[in-house]
Amino acid sequence: MTIQNMVVTLNRVPEIRAVVDSGTDWTVVFGFALTAIAVLVGAWVSIFTFKKTANNQMILAKAVALKESRQAWINDLRDTCAEYIAAIGLLQAHATGAESHDAFIENVRAHDQAAAAGLKESWEAEKRRLLMTSFSLSSKIQLLSNPKEPAFVELTAEVLSALSSASTPGSDAYGNCSRIVVLAQQILKTEWIRTKQMQ
């Protein structure tokens, strides 16, 4: 009986027919096209955003570098003006004391000519050193100045006036120094505002 059942079972296996429809599935095509468009648009947005960010970072880096450079220039101008005023003050004091120093040297000369000559030489060497320091700082201020801006032109004129009058006893080099301070303060304030605004 078991064998008959098997035969019967084998005869009963249904016949499988494959039906293939070769028509286009537009849902799949549109889905694929939409996915491709989304990928391309996403890539374009990423590239555009990257370029924009890189450009903004470059602009910011240039502005920061300019700001740091300008701040260093401001600090250098401020320090140089302060050193110059101190040098002019020393040169003026040296010139003012020249007459009393000459009298002192004459008193020493009466007792020791070699000592008097040494004192005279050291006095003149100090005067040359003060003049060279003042001249050097004056030149540095002029080099740090912008000759196209009126405030710098005024500052340079006061600096040169102070230099020419400082080695003359009784001159108004201290008045020049006061005007240099006022002009330098105005310039430094203006430049600091420019630096703060990253201009």
* Confidence (pLDDT) at 185: 93
pLDDT attached to residue 166: 86
DSSP symbols for the chain: -HHHHHHHHHHTPPPP---------HHHHHHHHHHHHHHHHHHHHHHHHHHHHHHHHHHHHHHHHHHHHHHHHHHHHHHHHHHHHHHHHHHHHHHHTHHHHHHHHHHHHHH-HHHHHHHHHHHHHHHHHHHHHHHHHHHHHHHHS-TTSHHHHHHHHHHHHHHHHHTSTT--HHHHHHHHHHHHHHHHHHHHHHHHTT-
Domain ranges of the chain: 74-198
Is the CB of residue 99 less than 8 Å from the CB of residue 174? no
Tell me what pLDDT residue 28 has: 80
**According to the model, what pLDDT value does residue 132 have?**
93
- What is the predicted pLDDT for the residue at 5? 54
Q: What is the pLDDT along the chain (199 residues), one digit of tens a residue?
A: 455 555 545 556 667 676 666 667 778 888 888 898 989 988 899 999 999 998 888 888 888 888 888 889 889 999 999 999 999 988 988 888 877 777 777 777 788 888 888 888 888 888 899 999 999 999 999 999 989 999 999 999 999 999 888 888 878 888 888 999 999 999 999 888 887 777 6
